[in-house]
Amino acid sequence: MSLTDEIARRRTFAIISHPDAGKTTLTEKFLLYGGAIQTAGAVKSNKIRKGATSDFMEIERQRGISVSTSVMTFDYAGKLINLLDTPGHKDFAEDTYRTLTAVDSVVLVVDCVKGVEAQTERLMEVCRMRDTPVIVFINKMDLEGRDTFDLLDELEAKLSIKVRPLSWPIGIGATFKGVYDMYDGDLKLFESIKTKVEAQSVSITDLKDPRLDQEVGEDAANLLREEVELVNGVYGELDVPK
C-alpha cells in the first residue's frame, strides 16, 4: 500500500463531553463493536470487571475520570481508526483543546438526563472555531431522562447548531427497547451485556413492517412511527449519501 493510500484510509476522531456524560464508556463500546477488545471495561472497575482500556493511569482508575487524552488504534471495515478519548473535567481541558487541533471529526456525548452542560458548550465553541464536523451522541437512554425532542431543541438553542437525527430511541428509561436506525432502516435492540461483539439488529422493510410490532410491542411501535413522522416533518428527510 502506498503512503497516499495509507493516509487516505485513516480516520481520526475525538470523543468529548462534560464530565460523567459517559465518554470513556462509549469509547469502550467503540472498541468492543470494532472488534479491538472482547469485553467492555468499566470506568470504576473491581476485581471482577476489568478497567476501561483508555484509563491506563492509576489516578484515572482510582478517581474514575480521564486526566489525559488516550489514543486507541484499530482496523475496521478497511479503515484505520484512531480513537481519542479526551478528559472531560475543566481542570484538564487544555489537553482536550490541543487534541481538537489534530482530529478529522468529533463525537460529542450528551447525558440524556442532564442535557447540555457548561463544558459541552465550551467544547462545541472550539469545534466551531476550527470548523470541525460534529456528531452528537445522546447517552444513557436506559435512564429516566428528558424528552428527546426537548433535548434536540436544547442542542440547537445552546450550541447554535442545526441537528438531524440519524437514529431514534424506542422508549426511554425503564421502557427503553433500543433504537431505530434511520440511515439503514434497522432496529438495534438494547441488551445490557458486556461481552457481545455485535448488537442484535433486526432488518425491517419500513415502519409498517409487522416485525416492528413483534419485536418491541404494539404500543412502542406505534409511538415510534408517530415520532419518526414528526422528525421527518420538522427536521426534513435524511439526505446523507450511503
* Structural domain spans, the chain: 1-163, 166-235
Other C-beta atoms closer than 10 Å to the C-beta of 156 total: 14
> Could you say which architecture CATH assigns to the domain 1-163?
3-Layer(aba) Sandwich (3.40)
Instruction: Domain 166-235: give its CATH superfamily.
Output: P-loop containing nucleotide triphosphate hydrolases (3.40.50.300)
Mean pLDDT check: name the lowest of 4-13, 102-111, 130-139, 209-218: 4-13
User: If we measure between CA atoms, which residue out of 159, 97, 90 comes closest to residue 124?
Assistant: 159
C-alpha 111/C-alpha 106 separation (Å) is: 16
Q: Which three cell numbers stand for residue 76?
A: 475496521
Region for residue 188 given its phi and psi (left: phi exceeds 0; alpha: psi -120 to 50; beta: otherwise): beta
Q: How far is CA 63 from CA 13, 34, 59, 93, in A?
A: 25, 27, 6, 17
- pLDDT tens-digit profile of 226-235? 999 999 999 8
User: Using an 8 Å Cβ cutoff, are 84 and 22 in contact?
Assistant: no
Find the helix or strand (DSSP H, E) in which 169 lies.
strand 167-170
- The answer to whether residue 99 scores a pLDDT higher than 90 is no
Beta-ladder partners of 201: 188
- pTM for the full predicted model: 0.81
